[in-house]
């Protein structure tokens, strides 16, 4: 079971990866993957789809 701190650290890591891949020449696939990870995390925590 993850603590709130663990979840927040994971969210920050995914957000940073999203920023990093936006600098690649063809970031579309990676951006969709990380955006999906953030959406899933939000759904698991709040039960709401963003």
How many folded domains does the chain comprise?
1
Mean pLDDT along residues 13-23:
84
Residue 20 pLDDT > 70? yes
* pTM more than 0.75: no
Q: Is 2 left (phi over 0), alpha (psi -120 to 50) or beta?
A: beta
Domain of residue 27, residue span: 4-46
Work out the mean pLDDT of the chain and round it to a whole number: 82
In whole angstroms, give the CA distance from residue 11 to residue 49.
Answer: 16
In whole angstroms, give the CA distance from residue 20 to residue 13.
Answer: 10
Residue 1 pLDDT > 70? no
Residue 13 pLDDT > 70? yes
Residue 47 pLDDT > 70? yes
């Amino acid at each position: 079971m993850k603590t709130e701190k663990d979840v927040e650290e994971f969210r920050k890591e995914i957000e940073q990866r999203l920023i990093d891949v936006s600098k690649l020449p063809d970031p579309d696939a990676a951006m969709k993957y990380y955006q999906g990870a953030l959406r899933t995390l939000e759904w698991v925590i709040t039960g709401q789809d963003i």
